[in-house]
Structure 1
Amino acid sequence: MALKDGETTTATASSSTAPNPTTSRRATPPPSSSKLIDPSPNGDADNEGDLDTGGQESSLSIVIKHGGSEFRIENLMQDHTIQYLKDQIEELTNVKSIRQKLFGLKASNGKPITDDLMLEETNFIDGMKVMMMGSQEKAIQDIEQASKSGLPQLEDDFDLMDDDFEMDLDARIPREPEYKAKIARRVKHLKIKMFNEPRPNKKLLVLDIDYTLFDHRSTAQTASELMRPYLHEFLTSAYQDYDIVIWSASGMRYIEAKMDELRVSSNPNYKIVFYLDSAAMISVYSKKYGLLNVKPLAVIWGRFPGQYTPKNTIMFDDTRRNFLMNPQNGLKIKAFRDAFKNRETDRELLHLSKYLSKIAEMDDLSSLDHRYWSRAIDAPKRHKTSR
């Protein structure tokens, strides 16, 4: 089903009338007087009490966000299972239930979501919005066919050769004042939700999420299966010398969901200072690639003057363009893709822990050439991730 961004399609979870492509044959028809509750965030708390209608169970709804569109599923019951919900999602989105990852739904007992759980055993409330990730079968088949036909796998267009990258930086120098003005506006107006206070005499580590800490393209039953190996050990080690900030090009709800699913936000061995999302990024013009969205660290430096500076900051990202404004502070990490193939052999975070420890006592991190970080710790040669 193709939808334009912002469109919402609606399906009922059961029906006793004419056949409908989004109808489940297994459902029990709900009362005809089912009330559709506004799924807006402001409506969630107010309507929570509507679940009890004097002995007659009311039908519920959920909004699934996927691929820039929203899909509303109605006439759900508290005793419907997660598998049943996934079946409804599959009919609406053509993403098979086994490939779906639902962000935001949690088991009431704190354990991972399983398909046999009933909705009443989760944090589900009427009208809530849940982000779903997963690829349609056609997209997967196209990739597999390209692989079988011997066509080359596409790489990130912006994983530039180092010389081209530096030359491209020079090309934007005349427009520097414009970018500084954008950064100044972010520093002045950006709202940052603080989870923990910066610590004295600590350096700053800024981390991307997708392909850096987490394989966001593969499918699995739980987020932990797609987590990069040694993630918690890496963050625990880094926390000794660095304050940690998460900066993703995604939206804030997406970031919060991922950090909760990966149990980063609740780990007792380290603390995250704050998250930044796409709202903190700016657009810059590249002579070779046109308009790009990048992560200017000066936004952080401007909000925390004296605490965080170019000399005590390092950022990990799998895409080099994200530190186009501050290349001296960026370290391009090997992308973690195809988790099920590579999680047994991926040691990137383990080696980077050693690098961070080694440079922690240095006065100026921006004076280092982070492209050669593995040489500094005599790490094994980094092989290309299998694809």
Structure 2
Amino acid sequence: MSSSSSSDISSVSTNPESNEELTLAVKWVGKEYTVRVCSDDSVGELKRRICEVTNVLPKRQKLLNVKAGAKPADDTMLLSQLGLKPSIKIMMMGTVEDEILVDPVDAPEVLDDFELGDEETIDIKDREVNKQKLRRRIEQFKMTLLNPCRPGKKLLVLDIDYTLFDHRSTAENPRELMRPFLHEFLTTSYQFYDIIIWSATSMKWVEVKMKELGVLSHPDYRITALIDHLAMITVQSHSHGVFDCKPLAVIWGKFPEYYHPGNTIMFDDLKRNFVMNPQNGLVIKPFRKAHLNRATDQELLGLTDYLLAISTLDDLSKLDHRRWRDYSDQHKKRRRS
């Protein structure tokens, strides 16, 4: 593991004024559950912790006495703004989804991606409160391997929605909404990269979608692990308020002997998800309107060439992934010559 990632995690310090830990009781269908959060966490983060113990997805939760004045608190509000006391007993209404309906309306939709300036990104990444959240997430998140990590391989982390799959269009067969060349892309990448799928949805949805697309049973490659929304953290920016992101340090902290900033690359259609590790993120062109675009979409073909071109480099974090098409074109020219 590189020294930079080690210091990022080990240097986390606790600021008792902004990181007061709260142990809250949640009552749901006659049972009482305990969740631990911090005062700097958002209501959305509280719902994620509740989901861990109840399996009720955040979007299905109604927290009756978590309010901002007379109104229900918005998911982006920080718990410190609500004045919650450790003695509070949160009353929740919500239903567990026993079956996932292949319904695009039921899947999450985030279209309002945004750009953060370099200074603001550095501030978010280096802020002590966010480092503390990272440490808590590494300690608390339970990550199950589907297949063993392979020594000497780099790591490719992939989003699902609009990256591998058009989750808003309708089709009789989900494979009609699969991004073109997906299996060819994963087969070639697997030669040099372990592959982890990370979605901002629930694990049940991730598993169902990957099975429907044949990703978990393909004979030519193996997925190392699946990660869901519970591994994400909430951060706050000056320009765009509170939002969730996918900190790769969660993976690095779980498997430091295999993965680190120097050998990891992540594809996602939302740049905001890279804010804690901007040097490792590549913004992929969203795959939408599959029925209109699947005959012409060749994004995964170009990215395959890019992954091959950089597979022998010692440190991927020093690359400017915004220029990936240039690297890809150069790699193709070298192959033809």
- 1:189 to 2:140 alignment: yes
Q: Distance in 2 between matches of 1:307 and 1:135?
A: 38
Aligned-residue identity in percent: 51
Q: Pairwise mapping of residues 1-387 of structure 1 onto structure 2 (< 5 A)? A: 68=60, 129-135=99-105, 156-160=111-115, 164-172=116-124, 176-378=127-329
| 2:124/2:276 contact within 8 Å kept | no
Task: Measure how far apart 1:358 and its partner are.
Answer: 0.5
Number of aligned positions between the proteins = 238
Task: Measure how far apart 1:198 and its partner are.
Answer: 0.3
> Which structure would you say has the larger Rg?
1
Secondary structure, counterpart of 2:149 in structure 1: coil
| 1:313/1:365 contact within 8 Å kept | yes
Q: Distance in 1 between matches of 2:252 and 2:145?
A: 15
Amino acid at match of 1:133: D
Q: Distance in 2 between matches of 1:292 and 1:319?
A: 12
Q: Distance in 2 between matches of 1:247 and 1:135?
A: 21
| 1:284/1:293 contact within 8 Å kept | yes
Q: Distance in 2 between matches of 1:344 and 1:212?
A: 16
Secondary structure, counterpart of 1:272 in structure 2: coil
Q: Distance in 2 between matches of 1:263 and 1:178?
A: 40
| 2:104/2:167 contact within 8 Å kept | no
Q: Distance in 2 between matches of 1:361 and 1:304?
A: 21
Task: Measure how far apart 1:255 and its partner are.
Answer: 0.2
Secondary structure, counterpart of 2:258 in structure 1: coil
Secondary structure, counterpart of 1:237 in structure 2: helix
Aligned partner of 1:111 in structure 2 is none
- When the two structures are superposed, what TM-score results if normalisation uses the length of structure 2? 0.67
Task: Measure how far apart 1:158 and its partner are.
Answer: 2.2
Secondary structure, counterpart of 2:117 in structure 1: helix
Secondary structure, counterpart of 2:171 in structure 1: coil
Q: Distance in 1 between matches of 2:102 and 2:186?
A: 27
Task: Measure how far apart 1:129 and its partner are.
Answer: 2.2
Q: Distance in 2 between matches of 1:262 and 1:363?
A: 33
Amino acid at match of 2:124: R
The 3 A distance-change label for structure 1 pair 252 and 283 is same
Point out where structure 1 has 5 or more consecutive residues left out of the alignment.
1-5, 7-64, 70-126, 137-154, 380-387
Amino acid at match of 1:165: G
| 1:251/1:278 contact within 8 Å kept | yes
Q: Deviations over 1:183-224 (max 9, x none)?
A: 111111211121100001000000000000000000000110
Q: Deviations over 1:314-340 (max 9, x none)?
A: 000000000100000000000000000
Amino acid at match of 2:118: E
Q: Distance in 1 between matches of 2:258 and 2:123?
A: 31
Q: Distance in 2 between matches of 1:135 and 1:257?
A: 16
Task: Measure how far apart 1:68 and its partner are.
Answer: 4.5
| 1:172/1:287 contact within 8 Å kept | no
Aligned partner of 1:103 in structure 2 is none
Point out where structure 2 has 5 or more consecutive residues left out of the alignment.
1-27, 29-56, 62-96, 331-337
| Structure of higher RCO (CA pairs closer than 8 Å, 6+ residues apart) | 2
Amino acid at match of 1:256: E
Amino acid at match of 2:113: F
Task: Measure how far apart 1:182 and its partner are.
Answer: 1.1
Q: Distance in 1 between matches of 2:247 and 2:207?
A: 21
Amino acid at match of 1:360: S
Secondary structure, counterpart of 1:292 in structure 2: strand
The CA RMSD measured in Å over matched residues stands at 2.4
Aligned partner of 1:36 in structure 2 is none
- When the two structures are superposed, what TM-score results if normalisation uses the length of structure 1? 0.58
Task: Measure how far apart 1:367 and its partner are.
Answer: 0.3
Secondary structure, counterpart of 1:299 in structure 2: helix
Task: Measure how far apart 1:359 and its partner are.
Answer: 0.1
